[in-house]
Amino acid sequence: MLPEAVAVVLAVALLVALIAIRAPIFVALGLSGVVGLLLIGGFAELELVPLALVTQLQNYTLVAAPLYILLGEVLAVSGAGRDLFRTAYRWFNRVPGGLGVSAVGSSTVFGAMSGVSISSVAVIGRMAVPEMLHRGYKPSFASGSVVASGALAMLIPPSLMFLLYSSITGENVAALFAGGIGPGLLLAVLMGMYVVVRAKFAPHNAPRGEDRFSWGERMRALRRILPALLLIALVLGSIYSGFATPTEAAAVGALLSFAIAGLWYRNLTWANCRRIFVSTVQVSATILAIVGAAFVFTQMLVLADVPATVSSFVVGLDVSPYVVIAGIMVVLVLLGCLVDAASLLLVVTPILVPAIVELGFDPLWFGVLLVVNLEMAVMTPPVGLNLYTMKSVVPQLDLKEIFRGVLPYLLIVMLVLVAVVAFPEIATFLPEVLG
């Protein structure tokens, strides 16, 4: 057995090495956690791992994760995404960059149904980007709007990231969902405004369309997405009215999504059902494997008293608490370039939250701030999942073009980060109002 500090350094070094050689993240976290436990306490500490894993994965909050994933997968194959984009275009076609604004709008609404960013990018990107390219949009401009707005699914409820944060900290899921609405809508508005301004002053990026739609056509298009809008209202309404917990709302929402796909869109075929369940199992298993592996790693950190040490160090710094927050945000941006968002949240939350509480900050506010920051992780290489999802659904795009298109949106996310720090009410107002 080694001194705790040495064991932690070796475990972290092993984690970095495994990530560098592109080992699956759950393998990297689990193996480095097990090695750290062995170095600290020998085989006796490993006896606690199975019990700890079962206890963590039995967390009632986590039951909602596969249910929201199932809901999103059903809607992904139902045609709801297609109707969302077409409806948005009928309402925004006359503004500069109308297709880009429509992509941002439809991604925002789809994110409120799925909670998974790559699903939003895949569903909206498969329709919106080829259409934009056909209309003469610059590839980077077209792809950037979808990749960036797809990340809003991480922030706008029902958010998988908030479910994970709640499972670690015990914060109320409904309050976290409410906290994400303000920053999420602010990001959506700013992204839409950027598309309009860029298209207005650099029209070669997004040529104006000649389509004209009557008010009757717009209202008929709106009627097509009415079931999807009602689904969002029922899921969130049942949570904030106190009628159902987020987990119960997820179950009802998943059931209703099958009804919408089968009765409204009439495309719930056996092939689509198989696709839905296979994809749900794959995504859910991946996420829960990462959750379990991350818990092993954090158990090693807790055994070595790392959270308490970090908390004492941070509180003892002779600087403003906001300087500490700024430093944390910068480190998270850098780490987000190397580790996927969900894994990063699972690892850093148990380390940082005790220090944040000691500094006098609201852990709910910090959870929202953390998820806003981690939106950048899905948009930055080399592990930005949204970038590769876009490349997979529109193969003719070049990854460099996709990333070039995302860069302005990274600045928008940073601007919102600063706004949430300067005006915490952006994240805390709705949770306080909704109780």
CB-based burial label for 433 (10 Å; 0-12, 13-18, 19+) = exposed
Per-residue pLDDT reduced to its tens digit, 240-275: 888 888 889 889 899 999 999 888 888 888 999 999
Nearest to 109 by CA among 188, 211, 191, 8: 188
pLDDT higher than threshold 80 for residue 51: no
Residue 417 pLDDT class (50, 70, 90 cuts): very high
Write out the DSSP string of 74-124: HHHHHTHHHHHHHHHHHHHTTSTTHHHHHHHHHHHHHHHHH--HHHHHHHH
Average pLDDT over residues 125-131: 88
Average pLDDT over residues 289-306: 84
Range of weakest confidence among 88-92, 176-180, 405-409, 410-414: 88-92
Q: Which of 42-46, 169-173, 202-206, 402-406 has the lowest mean pLDDT?
A: 42-46
Residue span of the structural domain in which 50 resides = 4-434
Question: 246-259 vs 64-78: helix axis angle to the nearest 10?
Answer: 20
* Distinct helix (H) and strand (E) counts, the chain: 22, 0
In this structure, how many other beta carbons lie within 10 angstroms of the beta carbon of residue 323?
11
Rounded-to-integer distance, Cα 196 and Cα 204, Å: 13
- Over range 71-90, report the average pLDDT: 86
pLDDT band at 294 (very low <50, low <70, confident <90, very high): confident
User: What DSSP assignment string belongs to 332-393?
Assistant: HHHHHTTS-HHHHHHHHHHHHHHHHHHTT--HHHHHHHHHHHHGGGGGSTTT-HHHHHHHHH
Contacts of 72 (CB under 8 A, 6+ apart): 113, 114, 115, 116, 119
Q: CA 125, CA 407: separation in Å to the nearest integer?
A: 18
CA distance 361 to 329: 15
Joined together, the tokens standing for residue 204 give 């070669």
Q: Does 2 have pLDDT greater than 70?
A: no
For residue 363, give both structure tokens: 């852990």
pLDDT tens for each residue of 333-378: 888 887 888 888 988 998 899 999 999 999 999 999 999 999 998 8
Instruction: In whole angstroms, give the CA distance from residue 96 to residue 199.
Output: 5
Two tokens at 131? 């259409």
**What sign results for the dihedral spanned by CA atoms 11, 17, 18, 20?**
positive
Is residue 45 pLDDT above 80, yes or no? no
> How many Cβ atoms from other residues are within 10 Å of residue 204's Cβ?
10
- What confidence score (pLDDT) does residue 338 get? 78
Q: State mean pLDDT over 283-307.
A: 84
222-257 b/e (C-beta count within 10 Å ≥ 16 → b)? eebbebbeebbebbbebbbeeebbbbebbbbbbebb
Those residues with Cβ within 8 angstroms of residue 84's Cβ, 6 or more apart along the chain or in another chain: 105, 106, 109, 110, 124, 225, 228
Structure tokens at 79: 């045609």
More confident of the two residues 428 and 76? 428
Measure the CA–CA gap between 159 and 163, rounded to whole angstroms. 7
Report pLDDT digits (tens) over 7-42. 888 888 998 888 888 888 888 888 998 888 888 877
Q: What is the CA radius of gyration of the chain?
A: 22
pTM here is 0.88
User: What is d(CA 331, CA 1) in angstroms, rounded to the nearest whole number?
Assistant: 31
385, 391, 397, 400: CA torsion to nearest 10: 30
The number of distinct structural domains making up the chain is: 1
pLDDT of amino acid 1:
63
